[in-house]
Amino acid sequence: MTDVDLDAEKYEKHREAGEILAQVRDEAADRLEVGTSYLEISEWAEDRIRELGGTPAFPVNVSVDEEAAHGAAGPDDDRVVGEEMVKLDIGVHIDGWLADTAVTVDFSGNQDLVEAAEEALDAALDVVEAGVDTGTIGAEIEDVIDAYGYNPVVNLTGHGLGHWEQHTAPNIPNRGVSQGTTLEVGDVVAIEPFATDGSGKVSEGQQEEIYSLEREATVRDRSARQALDQITEEFKTLPFATRWLDVPRPEMALRRLKMNDIVHGYPVLKEEDGCLVSQREHTIIVTEDGCEITTRSR
């Protein structure tokens, strides 16, 4: 297979992942209501991805109110959605080629904050093309969110999507920066503005339900060894959930793997002032004079 053929196949798989993801995102958002179980909506979306021919690229994130990212349902999670601001962040891959998207569903009565992130994403997409500096994209995001009277979350960024890699270069800032990266034709990136009525920074919380492989190694404990076999064969370097592991006492197996620096966790990220956060995200392929949005609703 030539490099040209490989590139064509790669982009088709990105597109296929995006098409599946757009449908699942919209359907999941429609299903979400006050009283919906975190576990039910997560498992429903992940099963729906598989039903449509894709594979979840990471566990469905259900992050509420001040949680900006990495909220996820545990194995026996009994939490339900309340009158809150809910972020659904979902990913799909086809043979390791990814799409990543997020939407905010608001039950808290703060729709303006949702619209700030949505309009910021639209403004960012309007300036994307080959040759644009990522700092220019960040400035567009910041200007829109500022105009709403809110702040962008400055220590979260959009990102490139690689083969079996959810976060690669370049970073896409959510504010204007003087030294960014120049986008090129064919770059596949996820742009994801976060808006908040707080000061605009997140820090790590205590809860952790998402992990990914750090390095391959040997481990003595049988359950940990079985978990590692599943991780390397099924998830490779992509993030996975505790509840995805088919081993007895998965929490204990993960604890052992983490102690040996074989996996690392993704703690929930929370706005430092405890204020609300909204999010919107699309995956795009950069073109000569714009971009192709792979996760656009059909």
281 annotated as a binding-site residue: yes
Name the helix (H) or strand (E) containing 283.
strand 282-287
Helices and strands (H and E) in the chain: how many: 6, 17
19 annotated as a binding-site residue: no
Task: Identify the active-site residue in 167, 214, 264, 292.
Answer: 167
* Catalytic residue flag (residue 163): no
Q: What are the strands, taking DSSP E only, across 95-235?
A: 97-106, 151-152, 158-162, 165-172, 188-191, 194-196, 202-204, 210-213
Task: Identify the active-site residue in 65, 89, 208, 209.
Answer: 89
* Catalytic residue flag (residue 192): yes
167 annotated as a binding-site residue: yes
* Catalytic residue flag (residue 93): no
12 annotated as a binding-site residue: no
192 annotated as a binding-site residue: yes
Task: Identify the active-site residue in 119, 192, 197, 209.
Answer: 192
Phi (first) and psi of residue 274, to 5 degrees: 75, 25
Task: Identify the active-site residue in 14, 93, 159, 282.
Answer: 159
Task: Identify the active-site residue in 100, 106, 208, 271.
Answer: 100
* Catalytic residue flag (residue 281): yes
Task: Identify the active-site residue in 65, 66, 140, 281.
Answer: 281
Strands of 55-64's sheet in order across: 55-64, 85-94, 97-106
* Residues β-bridged to residue 125: none
Q: How far is CA 250 from the centre of its chain?
A: 23
Q: Which residues are annotated as a binding site?
A: 70, 89, 100, 159, 167, 192, 281
Residues annotated as part of the active site: 89, 100, 159, 167, 192, 281
Residue stretches of the annotated binding site for a divalent metal cation:
89, 100, 159, 192, 281
Binding site for substrate, by residue number, is 70, 167
